[in-house]
């Protein structure tokens, strides 16, 4: 019989609902047995009320993204994936319709939602180049000028890698893109709530977010557009000022606003990094043959990506699940696919090393007593898997 999972250590895949989100949603669920979630486009009183809720959520999100952010520059989407792909389509579709053959530069460690769009662009006559990273996951920005062409129309990079927690040097990247006059697209899904954000000085023209990474509801993405950079909707309609059709996810937007209003990245980081570092040290001491991926790069405070020599990552994830702990072998968006992480391969790990990796992402709610039990369970699981692997090799 499966043991009930009691300790969740996979917050990068989806953070637990923030208490303020639960508080914000309860009035909609407690009014009566007939839950009413009005359409913000309706002109009756219920619709106008819903529209106010939507506007308030947009304002709270804008306030979390820096000073003097115009809430009307924010577009709600169904996910961070849709937000990323809306950026790509907004930049390239007008050029492709004119018969141009535009060029795109994206990093080697992008989220799969961006990587999927490479084939889309190439099938329509465009092209793409990949900006490599070093062995710690840092962008090789010295190579970027060599990749830029006259037809380069967009540069995309993930701010915080969802697998390793490595923080990209967005400031230096923005300087290059500005000097070359090329729009910059930043995937900030894992940066939101973990790093201070000032969009007006970031230097990007498109920035995307995902609400369930900060304790909101899954199914709610956010795209911020700099002034003068329109969105060309893939879903046509009058909602979101014609920039993204379809009735807005009102509860998702309200939840995103409540979560955004509660974040405090500096305080959060100070609380979490001590736990993360103590956890990393304990694992490395107790489990020989442990490699910390991205250890020498700047990382967000909650993320550990570890390769355990002689271990298969997915098998270790299942063993820890049976022990009552939820961890991940990589990006949740690629779960169920037994392939090595493209992020770790880009950092120079072998296929075997990449397949032996596990991601641990904690929250400020974890205690050391809880994590100490996890370390013991992890040590036992790694030993079992290694012994079984050696027996198979005999």
**Residues carrying an active site annotation:** 333
**Residue of 175, 177, 194, 191 whose CA lies nearest to 224:** 191
Q: How far apart are CA 141 and CA 293, in angstroms?
A: 20
Cα angle value 167/327/279 (rounded, 5°): 65
For residues 206 and 224, the answer to whether their CB atoms sit within 8 Å is yes
156 neighbors 104 (Cβ within 8 angstroms): yes
CA distances from 10 to 215, 273, 369 (A): 13, 16, 18
Sign of the alpha-carbon dihedral angle for 329, 333, 339, 343 = negative
DSSP string, 73-125: GEEEES-HHHHHHHHHHHHHHHHHHTT---EEEEETT--HHHHHHHHHHHHTT
Q: Which residues contact 324 (CB under 8 A, 6 or more apart)?
A: 3, 4, 5, 6, 7, 377
Query: Closest Cα partner for 64 from 254, 238, 256?
Result: 256
Cα separation of 103 and 390, whole Å? 48
Q: Kindly give, in sequence order, each residue whose CB lies less than 8 Å from that of residue 308, ignoring residues fewer than 6 positions away.
A: 287, 289, 290, 291, 316, 356, 357, 358, 382, 385
Name the nearest CA neighbour of 107 among 141, 140, 130: 130
């Amino acid at each position: 019989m499966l043991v009930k999972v009691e300790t969740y250590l996979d917050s990068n895949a989806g953070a637990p609902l923030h208490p303020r989100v639960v508080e914000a949603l309860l009035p909609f669920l407690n009014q009566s047995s007939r839950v009413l979630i009005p359409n913000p486009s309706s002109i009756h009183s219920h619709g106008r009320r819903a529209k106010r809720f939507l506007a308030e959520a947009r304002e709270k999100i804008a306030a979390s993204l820096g000073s003097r952010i115009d809430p009307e520059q924010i577009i709600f989407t169904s996910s961070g994936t849709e937000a990323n792909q809306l950026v790509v389509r907004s930049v390239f579709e007008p050029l492709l319709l004119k018969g141009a053959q535009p060029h795109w530069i994206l990093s080697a460690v992008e989220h799969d939602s961006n990587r999927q769009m490479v084939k889309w662009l190439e099938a329509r006559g465009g092209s793409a180049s990949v900006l490599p990273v070093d062995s710690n996951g840092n962008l090789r920005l010295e190579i970027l000028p060599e990749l830029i062409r006259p037809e380069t129309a967009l540069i995309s990079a993930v701010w915080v890698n969802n697998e390793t927690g490595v923080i990209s040097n967005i400031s230096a990247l923005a300087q290059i893109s500005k000097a070359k006059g090329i729009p910059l697209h930043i995937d900030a899904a894992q940066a939101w709530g973990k790093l201070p954000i000032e969009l007006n000085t970031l230097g990007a023209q498109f920035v995307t977010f995902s609400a369930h990474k900060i304790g909101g509801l899954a199914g709610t993405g956010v795209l911020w557009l700099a002034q003068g950079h329109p969105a060309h909707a893939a879903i046509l309609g009058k909602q979101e000022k014609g920039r993204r059709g379809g009735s807005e996810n009102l509860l998702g937007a309200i939840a995103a606003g409540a979560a955004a209003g509660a974040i405090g990245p500096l305080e959060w980081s100070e609380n979490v990094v001590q736990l993360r570092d103590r956890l990393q040290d304990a694992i490395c001491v107790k489990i020989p043959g442990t490699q910390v991926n991205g250890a020498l790069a700047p990382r967000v405070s909650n993320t550990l990506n570890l390769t355990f020599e002689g271990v298969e990552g997915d098998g270790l994830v299942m063993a820890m699940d049976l022990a009552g702990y939820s961890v991940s072998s990589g990006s949740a968006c690629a779960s169920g696919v037994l392939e090595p992480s493209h992020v770790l391969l880009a950092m120079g790990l072998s296929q075997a090393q990449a397949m032996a990796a596990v991601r641990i992402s904690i929250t400020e709610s974890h205690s050391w007593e809880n994590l100490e039990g996890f370390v013991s369970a992890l040590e036992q699981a790694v030993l079992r898997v290694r012994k079984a692997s050696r027996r198979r090799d005999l």
